Structure 1
């Protein structure tokens, strides 16, 4: 793949990330922000310290939220587009759209779902401020382990395929990934700092909303980028059926 094609795919990836970010922003505003407000109300009702608010809650939930989600989407799109350039043609007989969806699904699982199952998202008022550095480090260690193991599983699957066949090699590599992830789950310390009187339903709703945001972001990116990548990589003449010559 030449540099011109890579550059075009990178631009399309960032545009797809922006579009996916807009959709994720809508989900975040409709599902996530009401739960954040409820968690903040809980915190204010149980805390005797009320410091001066540097940034208003209204600004946080509108312009601040939009800036964070859209910048994240654009950055995600650029990184995913570069990974797509490497993966295209190396994942079997998948076309541009299928490769984009496959990459997005794998990234969703490795980057977010697997770390989320060990260290799920928590709303404000959940967690000791003194342990935020430790909790952040543990989460990123889990994410790094998941991503590296996912890459190792793909490499192992390709090496085993000639001997075991594609299906068996995929099963062996996948089971190996799950086994090592399970060991990581067992070895890394658990974090449970949810207050006893915090609403279990609110905690559940917040975590479902966080998962829905990421699901929207990654799936919509795969669909949008797959469409844009196909238009870039496949000649227009190949996308249209050949004209049938008129009979004499």
Structure 2
């Protein structure tokens, strides 16, 4: 099982995840994105002498071909990255099979990259927040994301180290508690962002929920597809090795 085999399967799984993400984003997310845009346009029209200006990219293009292109690109790139990480941890996580370690990478990736950063700095439509603080808010998010990924890697390494001497229960418990403690401390130290203003709370909630569901769909399809592909490859290669060993022993 070579890194190239993991990479190719990661790209394929990512492509499938991108298609699924587009379907979820278009059906679940786009109505709430449009609702947020309508609120923004209403505020702009009320605050200024609003004149329609030609759009560089039409809204219909953004929500169809633009969304599809972005979903496929992000899904494929993420799939390749997860595939390479999965290749790097094979045989290094206790007795986990390649399929099981790949599933762990996918779950840890979703938690560290999507779920925990979302809890601290949830997604918001463009109308929410002061335009002058976009750079600061973006920096805070990526710093928190980086800390989350590093903390997840360190926690998994700690759990793997304890597994040999303390067993699976202590290893999983120690790794989980370590990650949670690091992220809670980081969340308390890093500043919060509260620039909602008078944006409708229900519209903001539906937008954020749709964002989280869309990201969950991306990681779920990617994890399931890549785990299945890697597991199938492992079974075929194990069967081939077993046949060769049997033939050599005759």
- In the superposition, the TM-score normalised over structure 2's length comes to 0.88
- 1:101/1:219 contact within 8 Å kept: no
Aligned residue pairs: how many?
A: 236
CA distance in 2, matches of 1:166, 1:236: 27
**Higher-helix-fraction structure:** 2
CA distance in 2, matches of 1:127, 1:176: 33
Per the alignment, residue 41 of structure 1 pairs with 38
Match of 2:17 among 12, 15, 20: 20
Per the alignment, residue 248 of structure 2 pairs with none
CA 1:237/1:160 → structure 2, altered by over 3 Å: closer, same or farther? Answer: closer
Any stretches of 5+ residues in structure 1 without a counterpart? 243-248
- 1:158/1:169 contact within 8 Å kept: yes
Any stretches of 5+ residues in structure 2 without a counterpart? 244-250
Cα displacement string for residues 6-54 of structure 1 (whole angstroms, at most 9, x for unaligned residues)? 1122111101100011001100001111111111111111112555422
- In the superposition, the TM-score normalised over structure 1's length comes to 0.89
Per the alignment, residue 4 of structure 2 pairs with 7
Cα displacement string for residues 149-206 of structure 1 (whole angstroms, at most 9, x for unaligned residues)? 111111112222334322112212221211111111011111111122x221111111
Per the alignment, residue 160 of structure 1 pairs with 162
Match of 1:32 among 29, 32, 56: 29
Per the alignment, residue 246 of structure 1 pairs with none
Matches of residues 1-248 of structure 1 in structure 2 within 5 Å? 5-47=2-44, 48=48, 49-50=50-51, 51-196=53-198, 198-235=199-236, 238=239
SS of 2:195 mapped into structure 1: coil
Q: Using the TM superposition, give the Cα deviation of residue 115 of structure 1 relative to its aligned residue in structure 2, in angstroms.
A: 0.6
CA distance in 1, matches of 2:114, 2:224: 18
